[in-house]
Homo-oligomer: A and B are copies of this chain.
Amino acid sequence: MSVPAHWNGRRHAVSAPNHELSLKATPFGLASTRRVVHLLSTPDRLRLHGVATRLRLPAGKTVYREASTADWLFLVADGVVKTVRALPSGKRRVMSFVFPGDIFGLAECGRYVNSAQTVTPVALYRIRLDQLMDMLRYDASLELQFLTKVTHELREAQRHTIVLSRRDAVGRLAMFLYMLDERERPPNGGSHIQIPMSRSDTASFLGLSLDAVTRAARRLEQSGLVAFDGTHIARILNRRRFEALASAV
């Protein structure tokens, strides 16, 4: 697996790399805006730090394989990871993209349900599952933060199903870009969208063929909504129409 060279280039050094161990999610409780917040309290973060080991991986590395015994839970500090499921037919589907502040590696019956691969160079924390379980057994407040986080991922998965329920490729791609944009909006404020993943990963995530994604991108350009600057950067030209399209499910 070759690592694309552009990851070392300047194009992706948008914001200072984040090396914090953190969990981001929308909380259960009342909040004025539906904003993502950092869940971990300082003592909880320190306690997690105590049992977590930090590791860096280049792009394109397999973190773990589907159906292997699940010894670790992973937290993303920086970079992007994808979880992939192999289907009986031999095809592979990208089930989710995992961003800083997300977790991955939730086990089912002691085994990972998906494979995980790095999309960009990443900084991860990993925690032994048995150690984490011990901590959760005694720290209900920490556990609540994981409960919140998993619930958040459940909602993300539901949004994914909504994207897939759309028929038109352009609409799916627009929703995808919109999700990417939402995630990064506040820091850079501009209309640039970083697209860390390859076209084929995007296609697999959106349930489209590679061709369809390309064509959809082209049509977004032709209609003047979005401009693409290479494979990994998009720029929103007409936000009003773009958002109308993205939410026109």
Question: B207 near A165 (CB under 8 angstroms)?
Answer: yes
Kindly provide the distance from the CB of A172 to the nearest chain B CB, expressed in whole angstroms: 11
A109 and B30 contact, Cβ closer than 8 Å, known pairs A137-B141, A247-B88: yes
A150 and B154 contact, Cβ closer than 8 Å, known pairs A162-B93, A249-B89: yes
Question: A88 near B151 (CB under 8 angstroms)?
Answer: no
CA distance A118 to B27 in the complex (A): 27
State how many copies of this chain the complex holds.
Answer: 2
With both beta carbons as reference points, the residue of chain B lying nearest to A107 in the complex is identified as B28
- A31 contacts across to B, CB distance below 8 A: 109-110
Question: B161 near A157 (CB under 8 angstroms)?
Answer: yes
Question: B154 near A144 (CB under 8 angstroms)?
Answer: no
Q: Is A113 an interface residue (CB 8 A)?
A: yes
- A151 contacts across to B, CB distance below 8 A: 106, 108, 150
- A153 contacts across to B, CB distance below 8 A: 154
| Most B-side CB within 10 Å, residue of A107, A129, A139 | A107
CA distance A110 to B27 in the complex (A): 8
Main secondary structure of the interface of A (DSSP, over half): mixed
With both beta carbons as reference points, the residue of chain B lying nearest to A143 in the complex is identified as B143
Q: How many residues of A contact B (CB 8 A)?
A: 52
Q: Chain A, 233-249, contact with B by CB distance < 8 Å: what is the 0/1 string?
A: 00000000000000111
Q: Chain A, 125-164, contact with B by CB distance < 8 Å: what is the 0/1 string?
A: 0000100010011111101101100110111011011101
Q: Is A26 an interface residue (CB 8 A)?
A: yes
Question: A136 near B129 (CB under 8 angstroms)?
Answer: no
A-B contact pairs, 8 of them (CB 8 A): A28-B106, A29-B109, A31-B109, A85-B158, A88-B249, A113-B155, A137-B140, A146-B147
